[in-house]
Amino acid sequence: MSMGTLEKLAVLADGAKYDVSCASSGVNKHNRGGIGNSKSFGICHTWSADGRCVSLLKILLTNYCIYNCNYCVNRNQNDIPRASFTPREVADLTIQFYRRNYIEGLFLSSGIERSPNHTMERIYQVLDILRHEYHFYGYIHVKVIPGADPALVNKTGLLADRMSINIEQPTEQSLKLLAPQKTLPVLFAPMNQIHHQMTQNASERKIFRHVQKFVPAGQSTQMIVGASKDSDLSIIKATETLYNRFQLKRVYYSAYVPVNEGPNLPALSTSPPLLREHRLYQADWLLRFYSFKADEIVNEQSPFLDTDFDPKISWALRNMQLFPLEINQASYEELLRIPGVGVTSAQRIIRQRRLGNISYNHLKKMGVVLKRAKYFITCQGCYYGGIPAESALVRQALTPVAKPVQLCLF
């Protein structure tokens, strides 16, 4: 029996929720004769370059897939409801949702139906209808299907704002184990093509004013955390390589939600490693904005991130010989290494120092988190930590005090 559009939307929006390039949101509410509607699927949010929150329709074009990746809920061996939109249906849904003010853009992913070229062509058709028939100028983020013809990737990139290729696993060994139909060279090929075409497009736009933009919001990827036994060192090293080699805008991490059984997968009762995912995002932030190298955050001796402290505090505790730093003399790069000092507060310190020396009382007003920073700085020659600046003592002082728990009397 053929599915209606809403039934397809329920199936394909549910299949898209494991992609964390943006977070799902929404609620179930019954409309009792009023206006408006809300569903717990299909709408997610992303943030534009100027900080605005943008609502997106987040769906799969199809959850039919010829691949059998062990970690994927849409793998071809799974007995789940299957559905497939036509390009016209996706375009019409997007416009209808937009006109009702539910969304401002589209996030379109897909299983691989029949072949990479067949699926990529259908994704292109969705964008072609939206851009050229409906004249829709909203934000569109689409997945690139690895193995698709470069010409298809090229013409899709001229219509999309952002493109992404999910590598899912950080090493070739993990891919062989969990997704044997994929290889890193095949996944890297479209990344490389997009990177080169973006660079070429930027150069051409400096010379020719009316050159059409190619993927103006850049490209991103996603890695699943916890499906394989890869260490945080492997994941952060792979992240650093992706940023350096392909100039990615973002690498996203998705804590693995056990959806399949298998000898190489965690048990179905395993909880998603959410804290590990959180620590990886903090490490990613250090790579992108604090000029850290992967080897400084984790190394062969400590291949996993410390779950008790964020990666910056962990690094500082391992390198206490570099502290305390004098806040009135440290360089901008050194200020960024102090726990409790962020990019904005470091810039404020540099600006304020041009006018005069900074006192300890000034630091809080500049956004410095003193409860962490006080163990790693001196201000006008004075140390305010209250304990010797030794790793073990500072670690103990920074460890949160456990909250008392009321014991059950029955």
Query: Tell me: the pLDDT tens digits for 298-329?
Result: 988 889 999 999 999 999 999 999 999 999 99
Average pLDDT score over residue span 155-162:
93
pLDDT value, residue 2: 60
Average pLDDT score over residue span 276-293:
95
Cis peptide leading into residue 272 (ω within 30°)? no
pLDDT value, residue 326: 96
**E strands of 93-192, at which residues?**
105-109, 139-143, 162-164
**pLDDT value at 151 more than 90:** yes
Work out the pLDDT band at 291, boundaries 50, 70, 90. very high
**pLDDT value at 37 more than 60:** no
Percent of the chain with pLDDT over 70: 90
Average pLDDT score over residue span 265-282:
93
CA of residue 49 relative to chain centroid, distance: 15
Work out the pLDDT band at 89, boundaries 50, 70, 90. very high
pLDDT value, residue 51: 62
pLDDT value, residue 409: 72
* Pair of tokens at residue 266: 């965690």
pTM: 0.85
Work out the pLDDT band at 210, boundaries 50, 70, 90. confident
How deeply is 269 buried, as exposed, middle or buried, from its count of CB atoms within 10 A (0-12, 13-18, 19+)? exposed
Q: How far apart are CA 326 and CA 376, in angstroms?
A: 9
| pLDDT tens column, 118-150 | 999 999 999 999 999 999 888 899 999 999 999
pLDDT value, residue 356: 92
**pLDDT value at 81 more than 70:** yes
**pLDDT value at 227 more than 80:** yes
**204 — alpha (psi -120 to 50), left (phi > 0) or beta?**
alpha
**E strands of 26-172, at which residues?**
43-47, 53-60, 105-109, 139-143, 162-164
Closest to 249 in 3D by CA, of 162, 185, 311, 158: 162
pLDDT value, residue 29: 45
- Cβ atoms 165, 191 nearer than 8 A: yes
Q: 3-state class of 92 per DSSP?
A: helix
**pLDDT value at 212 more than 70:** yes
**E strands of 264-379, at which residues?**
325-326, 377-379
| Average pLDDT taken over every residue of the chain | 88
